[in-house]
Structure 1
Amino acid sequence: MLKKLMNSPTTYALGMFAMMIPTQAFSSFYSYFYVEKLGLGVGLATLARVIYLIWDAANQPLFGYLSDRTRTRWGRRKPWIVSSIPLFMATFIMVFAVPDGLSGFSLFGWFVVALVLFEGVSTIIWVNYGALFPELFRGDRARAKASAVQQGYQIAAILIASVLTPILFAAIGFGYMSVVFAAVFAVFMIGFVVTTQENKQASVEPPLPIMEAFRSTLRNKQFWIFNIANSFAQTVNGLLGSSIPFYAKYVLHVPEPQVSLLLASVFVPVIPLVAVWYWIVRKLGGLRGWRLSLIAYGLSVIPLWFATGLGTGIAAGIVVGFGLAGFLVTPPVVTGQIIDQDYEQTGSRREGVYTAVGGFITRSSGLISALAFWIVGMIFGYVSGENPGPDPESTFRYLISVVPLCLLAVSMVISFFLPRLPGSGSGLGKQ
C-alpha cells in the first residue's frame, strides 16, 4: 500500500495541505492579534512587517542554494523538511502564545523575533517542498495532474483555516489555537514525508559553485520573462482577496456576515475546476495552457464590474473561480519545463535556486497591489472607512475589475515573449 502511495500527486499534496492551514491562519490574523488584541501600535507593527519582508527577500535565495548543494543518503530536500517540522511548530506557536505582561517595545521585540524565526523556518520548508515538484513529476501530463491535486488541497486548507481560526480563538484563545494547528501540520507533513522518495541520481550530481549557480539563473531570460509575467498575474490574486470586503460593502451593499458567501463563491468552485484545467493542459501543453489561463483569468473579472447585489456578485465570483483555478494549476508546469531545459544546458539540477528566486520575484507583486490600491484611492478620493470620499463605489469597482483586467493584459503580452519550451506542445499524453 505504501509503495503505491509513494510519490503520488495525492500524497505530495498533503504537504501543501499541511503548510497552508497554519500559514493561512498566520497571514489572516497575526496583524489583527497583535494590533487589535494585544495593543501593539500600528507604527511598530508596520516596522516589524518591513523587517519581516526584508528578511524574507534575503533568505529565500540563500536557502534555495544550500538545498541544491545538500548531499545525503536521504536526498537533498527531505532532510531540510524533516528537521524543520518541529521548528515550524515551535515558531508558529511562538507567534500566538505571547507571554503575559508584554507591551510597547517588549511586545514589539517578541513580535519581530517571532516573525523572523517563523518566516525563516517557513522558507526552508516552502523552498524544499517546491523544489521537489519538478523532480518528482516529469512531463506536462504528470505535472498538470499533480498541480491540479495540489491546488485543490490548497484551497481546501484555506477554507478550513478561514472558517476554523475565528471559532478556535474565540473558544480557546490564540495560544491554544496555534497548538491545534501546529499538531495538524505535523500529522499531514509527516504523511507527506514518509510517502516521498527523492531521485537518488539528482543527489549525486556535483553542484555548481554559488556564483555560477546564481549567475546562470539570473541570465536565464525564459525564467525572467515567465516570473515577471506571473508577478503581474499574482498581483490580481492579492488584489481580489483584499478588495472583496470593500467591494461587498460599497458596490454590492451587502452586510458583513454575507461577505463569507462572496469569498466562498470564488474559492469553492476552484476545487472541482482544477480538474478542468488539468484536462486543458493535457490537450494544449504547459505553455499554451498557461497563456490560456491568463486570458481566462482576465475575462473572468469583467462580470464583477456589472454585479449589483449578492446574487449577481456570487455569480460573478464563480466565474472568477474558473480563471483563478487555471492560474493556480498552470504555472508549476511551465516552471518545471524551464528547470528541465536548464538541466539539459548545465548538467546540474537547481530546483532550489529557481524556486527561491522565482518566489522572491512573485512576492514583489504585493508592492504592485499596494501601489494600485493607493493610486485608485487617490483618483476617487478614498482615504479610509472614516473618510471614504465622494465615490467609494467607483473606487472598488475599478480595483476589483478594471485594474485586474489591465494587469492580466500586461501579463498576457509579456507571456508571448517566452519562446516554446521542451515538451510544451499540444496533446501531451506522455509522462
Structure 2
Amino acid sequence: MRAKFVNSPIAFAFGMLAMMIPSQAFSAFYSYYYVEKLGLGVGLATVARTVYLIWDAANQPLAGYLSDRTRTRYGRRKPWIWSAIPLFMMTFCMIFAVPEGLSGNGLFVWFLVALILFEGVATILWVNYGALFPELFRGERVRTKASAIQQGFQIVAILIGSAVTPLLFTRIGFGYMSVVYAVVFAVFMLLCMGSVKENAEIAEEPRLPLKEAFRETLKNREFWIFNLANSFAQTVNGLVSSMIPFYAKYVLRIPEAQVSILLASVFVSVIPLVAVWYRIVRQLGAVWGWRVSLAAYGLSVIPLWFGSSLMSGIAAGILVGFGLAGFLVTPPVLSSRIIDRDFERTGQRREGVYTAVGGFITRSSGLISALAFWVVGMTFGYVSGDQPGPDPAGTFRVLISVVPLCLLAIAFLLSLTVMRDGMPPGRELSNDMQEGG
C-alpha cells in the first residue's frame, strides 16, 4: 500500500486541492471583499495589483532558480514547500482578517502589504509543486492521465473555493472563513508531501550559474508563446470567477445567498467534463486538444451576455464549465514537453526555472484582469459598490462575456503559431508505451 501511495497521481493531486481552495477563494472574492464590502476604490485596487506584479516579476524566476540549485537529502522541492506551509496559512488569513475601522489609505496599505506577503509565499509553493510534475510523471500518456486527475481535484477545489465561500462568509465572516481554509490547506498539503519521493539522481547534477540558467529559457520562442497564450486564457479563469458575484447582483439581480448556486453551475459541471476532455485529448493529441479547448472556451462565454435570471445564468454557467474543463487538462502536459525538449538540448533539468518563468507569465493575467476591470469600470462609470454608476449591468456583461471572448480569441490565434511539429496522436501513445507510461 505504501508503494502505491508514493508518487501516485491521486496523492500528488492532494497538493492541488490544498492550494487551490484558498487560492480560488482569494481570486474570486478579494475584489468583491475590498471594493464592494470595504469600499476600496477600483483605482487603488489596480495600483496594489500592479505593485504586486513588479514584485512578482522578481520573486517568480528567483524562486525557480533557487529551487533548481537546492540539494538536500530530502530533495530539491520538498524543503521549500514544508517551510512555506505555515507562512501561507498566516498570510492568507491576513488577506481577509482586516482590522475594523480601516478605510482610505489605511485600507490600501493593508491590502498592498497583505497581497505582497501572500503572493510571495504562494510563489514558493506553486513553483516547487509545479516543478515536481514533470519529474514525477514521465511520458505523455502518463502525464495526460495525471493532469486529468490533478485538474479534477482542482475543479473540486475551485467549487469549494467559489461556491462554499459565500456560505461561510455570510455565516461566520471573512476572517473566520480564512482560518477554516488555512487549516484545510495544511491537512491536504501535508498528505501530498508525505507521498512525494524525489529523484535522488538529480541531486548529483551540477548547479548552473544564474545567467546560464536563464539564457535558454529566455530565447525559447515555443515556451514564451505557449505561456503567453495560456496567460490570456488564465485571465479569463480569474475574470469570470471574480466577476460572478457582481454579475449575480447587477445583471441577474439575484440575492447574495444564491451566488453559490450560480458558481456551482460552472464548477460542478467541470468535474465530469474533465473526463470527457481527457478522451478528446487522447484522440486529438495534446497540442490540438489544447487548441480546440481554447476555441471551445471562447465560444462558451458568449451566452453569459444574455443572462437575465438565475436559471439562464445557470444554463450559461454550465456551458462555461465545458470550455473551462478543456483548458485545464492540457497545459501541464505541454509544459512538461517543453521542459523535456530543453533537457534534450542542454542536458540539464530546469523544471524550477521554467515553472517559475511560465508561472510569472500566466500569473501576469492578474494585471490584465485588473486593468480590464478598471478600464471597463471607468468607461461605464462604475467606481465601487458605493458608486456603481448609471449602468452597472452593462459593466459586468462586458467584463464577463465580451472581454473573455476577445482574450480567448487571441489565445487561440497564438496557439496556432507554436508546436506545429507536434506528433500525431498515435505516435505519441506509441512513444509513451516505449517509455513505460
For residue 417 of structure 1, report the CA deviation from its aligned partner.
0.9
Separation of aligned partners in 1, 2:113 and 2:247: 35
Distance apart, 1:142 and its partner CA: 1.5
Which shows bigger deviation, 186-195 or 106-115? 106-115
Aligned match of 1:292: 292
1:182-331 to 2 correspondences below 5 Å = 182-331=182-331
In the superposition, the TM-score normalised over structure 2's length comes to 0.86
Q: Which runs of 5+ in 2 are unaligned?
A: none
**Contact 1:140/1:281 (CA < 8 Å) preserved in 2?**
no
Change (3 A) 1:59 1:169: same
| Residues 222, 418 of structure 2: 8 Å contact kept | yes
Q: Distance in 1 between matches of 2:411 and 2:245?
A: 25
Q: Please state if 1:15 is matched with 2:15.
A: yes
> Which stretch of the first structure deviates more once superposed, 46-55 or 193-202?
46-55
Worse overlay, 220-229 or 132-141:
132-141
Letter in structure 2 aligned against 1:210: L
Q: 1:155: how far off?
A: 2.0
Q: Cα deviation per residue 1:366-401 (whole Å; 9 max; x = unaligned)?
A: 333344445555666666664543x65554444433
Other structure's SS at 1:268 match: helix
Question: Which sits farther off after the overlay, 23-32 or 4-13?
Answer: 23-32
Deviations 1:235-275 (A, max 9, x none): 22233223334444454444444333222211111111111
Does the Cα contact within 8 Å between 1:294 and 1:408 map onto a contact in 2?
yes
Query: Superposed, which structure 2 residues align to 1:159-174 within 5 Å?
Result: 159-169=159-169, 174=174
- Tell me the distance in 1 between the aligned counterparts of 2:262 and 2:420: 38
Q: Which residue of 1 aligns with 2:58?
A: 58
Q: 1:61 offset after TM fit, Å?
A: 0.6
Change over 3 Å in CA distance of 1:323–1:145 after alignment to 2: same
Once residues 68 and 187 of structure 2 are traced to their aligned partners in structure 1, the CA distance between those partners, rounded to angstroms, is 26
Note the alpha carbon deviations across 1:86-131, whole angstroms, 9 max, x for none: 3323333444556789888777666554443332222111100011
Length-normalised TM-score, structure 1: 0.87
User: Cα distance 1:76–1:422, how it changes in 2: closer, same or farther (>3 A)?
Assistant: farther
- Does residue 414 in structure 1 map to residue 414 in structure 2? yes
- Equivalent-residue separation in structure 2 for 1:13 and 1:423 (angstroms): 27
User: After superposition, where does 1:98-137 map in structure 2 within 5 Å?
Assistant: 112-137=112-137
Q: Contact 1:285–1:427 (CA<8 Å) still a contact in 2?
A: no
Letter in 2 for 1:334: L
Instruction: Determine whether 1:351 maps to 2:351.
Output: yes
Q: What corresponds to 2:180 in structure 1?
A: 180
Which residue is equivalent to 1:155?
155
Identity of aligned residues (%): 71
Task: Render the CA deviation track for 1:290-339: whole Å, top value 9, x for unaligned.
Answer: 01111111222233344443323322211111110011111111111111
Letter in 2 for 1:292: V
- How many residue pairs match? The answer is 430
**Native 8 Å contact 1:24 1:162 kept in 2:** yes
Shift of 1:150: 1.4
SS in structure 2 of the partner of residue 269 of structure 1: helix
CA distance in 1, matches of 2:328, 2:64: 22
3-state SS in 1 of match to 2:76: coil
- Aligned counterparts of 1:200 and 1:22: Cα–Cα separation in 2: 32
Cα distance change on mapping 1:259 and 1:51 into 2, 3 Å: same
Residues 9 and 163 from structure 1, CA distance in 2 versus in 1: closer, same or farther, beyond 3 angstroms? same
Letter aligned with residue 316 of structure 2: A
- Partner amino acid, structure 2, of 1:320: V
**Match of 1:71?**
71
The question of whether the paired residues in 1 share the 8 Å contact of 2:50 and 2:367 is answered with no
Tell me, in whole angstroms, the C-alpha distance in 1 between the residues paired with 2:305 and 2:45. 34
Question: 1:204: Cα distance to partner?
Answer: 1.9
Q: What is the deviation of 1:164? A: 4.4
Report the alpha carbon displacement of residue 28 of structure 1 after superposing the two structures with TM. Answer: 4.4
Report the Cα distance in structure 2 between the residues aligned to 1:398 and 1:207, rounded to whole angstroms: 49
Equivalent in the alignment of 1:402:
402
Query: What SS class does the counterpart of residue 330 from structure 2 fall into?
Result: helix
Partner SS, residue 419 of structure 1: coil
Are 1:283 and 1:427, in contact at CA under 8 Å, matched by a contact in 2? no
For the 8 Å contact 1:337–1:422, the answer to whether it is kept is no
Structure 1 195/405 Cα, relative in aligned 2: closer, same or farther at 3 Å?
same
Does 1:143 find its partner at 2:143?
yes
